[in-house]
Structure 1
Amino acid sequence: MKNCVADGTTIDFIATAAVASGDPVLVGKVVAVSLGNVAIGEPGVGATEGVYELPKVTADDITQGGQVYIKADGMITSVASGNTLAGKAWADAANPSDSVWVKVNA
């Protein structure tokens, strides 16, 4: 097929802040999980499919299968207002846990 330009499992990005390997990165409305450390202004690659353990707002009580959102600071939350859809919770993450398993872009 001549018109396939990518398999869609990764996306390239330019880091607007320092990014550690495994950090969530918002590329427009796409959530990517950085595949490596990336310095500010440098290009990086992020995974756009899969389930990842991501940092969450500690006080949120997230249930398996629920929609989750990413805040501007990269934290996962159950609050939709003002945030971007990140995917679905793959497991429960009760208050006061500090991480949640997320199937990104689901």
Structure 2
Amino acid sequence: MKNFIQDGNMMSVPAPYPVLSGNGVLVGALFGVAAFATSTGRPLEIATRGVYDLPKKAGDTPGYGARLYWDDAAKVITTTPGSNPYVGAAAEAAIGSAATVRVRLNGFVQ
């Protein structure tokens, strides 16, 4: 196709805040994992698909396949929807004391 640009698994976005490599990043309706560290406003590559270990809200106990949301204020994955956008599903269960949860990213937020 002459109008194909890219597969969209990696997207270039302006960093909305300072990020480190491997951090979750929310930019409008895109959520991804930072490929490298950068400062606010700089170009940043984020992975929008795949499975990643991301920091989890303390006490949350997502089961395998649970819907997961991004708490942008705390910069953690949570099981609490509310105003937190849906970003993917748990790729394995996590206990409440675990610092991270394995997330299968869905490529966009809902």
TM-score bracket, shorter-length normalisation: over 0.9
Cα distance in 2 between the residues matched to 1:41 and 1:8: 21
Aligned positions of 1:1-20 closer than 5 A: 1-20=1-20
State the TM-score, normalizing by the size of structure 1: 0.94
SS of corresponding position for 1:102: strand
**Structure 1 residue 29: deviation in Å?**
2.1
Shift of 1:3: 1.0
What is the CA deviation profile of residues 21-59 of structure 1, one whole-angstrom value per residue up to 9, with x for unaligned ones?
Answer: 000101222211010011122110001110000001011
Q: How many residue pairs were aligned?
A: 106
- Pairwise CA RMSD: 1.1
Write out the 4+ residue segments of structure 1 that deviate beyond 3 Å after TM superposition: none
Paired residue secondary structure (1:104): strand
Task: Give the counterpart letter for 1:86 in structure 2.
Answer: V
1:26 corresponding residue in structure 2? 26
Q: Mapping of 1:72-83 within 5 angstroms?
A: 72-73=72-73, 74-83=75-84
| 1:30–1:105 contact (8 Å) kept in structure 2 | no
TM-score (norm 2): 0.91
Separation (CA, whole Å) in 2 of partners of 1:48 and 1:69: 14
2:71 maps to 1:71: yes
User: In the alignment, is the contact (CA less than 8 A) between 2:16 and 2:27 conserved in 1?
Assistant: no
1:102 aligns with 2:100: no
Consecutive unaligned residues of structure 2, counting only runs of 5 or more, are: none
